[in-house]
Amino acid sequence: MRIRAAVLRERGGAFKIEDVDLAEPSSGEVLVEIAGTGFCHTDVLARTEGFMAEPPLIVGHEGAGVVVGVGPDVVDLEVGTPVVLSFDHCGRCDACVDGHPAYCGTFWGRNMTGRSRRKGNRVVDVDGAPVAGRWFGQSSFASHAVVSARSAVPVADDLPLELLGPLGCGVLTGAGSVFHVLEVRPGTAMAVYGAGAVGLSAVMAAAVSGAGQIIAVDRHQARLELALELGATDVVHVPDSAGAEREITSRVRALTDGGTHTSLDTTGVVAVILSAVEALRPRGVLGLVSAASSDIVLPPDALAIGKTVTGILEGDAVPRVLIPRLVNLWRQGRLPFDRLIRTYPMSDINQAETDAASGATIKPVLVPGRNP
């Protein structure tokens, strides 16, 4: 079928809104009309020279919409079902069967290449040339997407569907890291480094978990003020100057009387990560959800007192379990993720990317059906 999509033709070029042809859903797949899709930092990885996904490419991996077509062998979704789309996984490997689909043995090929595992081209442009259209199993910077039914999480039809896409990755990652990996306990001290969409989702989740102290660390004062409104008890403003990260450890340790029990880094900045490790108390745990900007070299005794540094993908979540729980928390007013969102027409995708990069917008959400 003919659809509209934001196509990245060149790594350093602008997104272009184009007509493309999308193949019909095959076995185990559904066709979703996109109501809204979040713009995430991960979506610009394809701009990196040498990255495994190559233009021309349709990215977008935080989609939400309505099922408008169902392929063979789909048993639990039907036309008209509202869904939130999350990452792709095989459902059969040890990690998937054990309840850890983010560590699926085929995760990278399914999610980070933009290529389909099926024969033939899933998406072609108007000249018949192939366009990579399987980013995170969805490529939802488009009016429609074909996805595995496993990746589509049904939700109630009374929800603001165009705003729900970030539940599939950014909010899922921040909250899931707190709930599933760090297992934040009531009364404990936690620090969140980076107050973007993932970090602020972690702040809200830590508040839900009953953390006694939640410290948000960021360069943007406005984001720190929002963090306080969303559940942070303290904030550390990092000046935008060289070497400012060195102050973080002493300030966090002073606030916590000896260091944090848990921490989450969303920045990928090595100096910040090293500060976060230092600011942990004995047996503290630091989770990393962003790829580091370069090698992380720890002092020889950095982990000698039982500290743990662990990588986290997608909050180690099972989307069909966690997303409905996040919706329930939102209904209760305990996880107001919608406060992070600013919506843009899909045609304004390049402005949304600029605003996300500058920090002007925490979580842009693109709405295909909206005109400028």
Asked if 164 and 187 sit in the same domain, the reply is no
Asked if 12 and 126 sit in the same domain, the reply is yes
Asked, for residue 328, whether it belongs to a domain, the answer is no
Asked, for residue 321, whether it belongs to a domain, the answer is no
The pLDDT of residue 155 is 98
The pLDDT of residue 343 is 98
Asked, for residue 86, whether it belongs to a domain, the answer is yes
Asked, for residue 325, whether it belongs to a domain, the answer is no
| CATH number of the domain that residue 350 is part of | 3.90.180.10
Q: How far is CA 321 from the centre of its chain?
A: 16
The pLDDT of residue 124 is 95
Closest CA to 202 of 317, 310, 337, 321: 337
The pLDDT of residue 121 is 79
The neighbouring-strand residues paired with 217 are: 193, 236
Asked, for residue 9, whether it belongs to a domain, the answer is yes
pLDDT along the chain (372 residues), means of 10: 97 96 96 97 92 95 98 96 97 97 96 80 93 96 97 97 98 98 98 97 98 96 97 92 79 94 96 95 96 88 95 98 98 98 98 95 93 66
Asked if 128 and 218 sit in the same domain, the reply is no
The pLDDT of residue 239 is 81
The pLDDT of residue 195 is 97
Asked if 220 and 249 sit in the same domain, the reply is yes
Domain that holds residue 221: 173-314
Query: How far apart, in whole angstroms, are the C-alpha atoms of residue 354 and residue 351?
Result: 5
Query: How far apart, in whole angstroms, are the C-alpha atoms of residue 219 and residue 213?
Result: 20
Closest CA to 141 of 40, 82, 59, 45: 59
Asked, for residue 319, whether it belongs to a domain, the answer is no
Query: How far apart, in whole angstroms, are the C-alpha atoms of residue 343 and residue 356?
Result: 12
Asked, for residue 208, whether it belongs to a domain, the answer is yes
Asked if 59 and 37 sit in the same domain, the reply is yes
Asked if 52 and 154 sit in the same domain, the reply is yes
Scan for tokens 């980013």, then name that residue: 135
Asked, for residue 322, whether it belongs to a domain, the answer is no
| Domain total in the chain | 2
Asked if 356 and 232 sit in the same domain, the reply is no
The pLDDT of residue 118 is 66
Asked if 152 and 206 sit in the same domain, the reply is no
Asked if 103 and 244 sit in the same domain, the reply is no
The pLDDT of residue 119 is 64
Torsion, Cα of 172, 175, 179, 185 (10° steps): 180
Whole-structure pTM value: 0.95
| CATH number of the domain that residue 192 is part of | 3.40.50.720
Q: Are 134 and 122 in contact (CB under 8 A)?
A: yes
Query: How far apart, in whole angstroms, are the C-alpha atoms of residue 11 and residue 310?
Result: 31
Asked if 70 and 107 sit in the same domain, the reply is yes
Asked if 94 and 236 sit in the same domain, the reply is no
The DSSP code sequence of 315-332 is GG--HHHHHHHHHHHHHT
The pLDDT of residue 292 is 81
Asked if 64 and 180 sit in the same domain, the reply is no
Rg for the chain (alpha carbons), in Å? 20
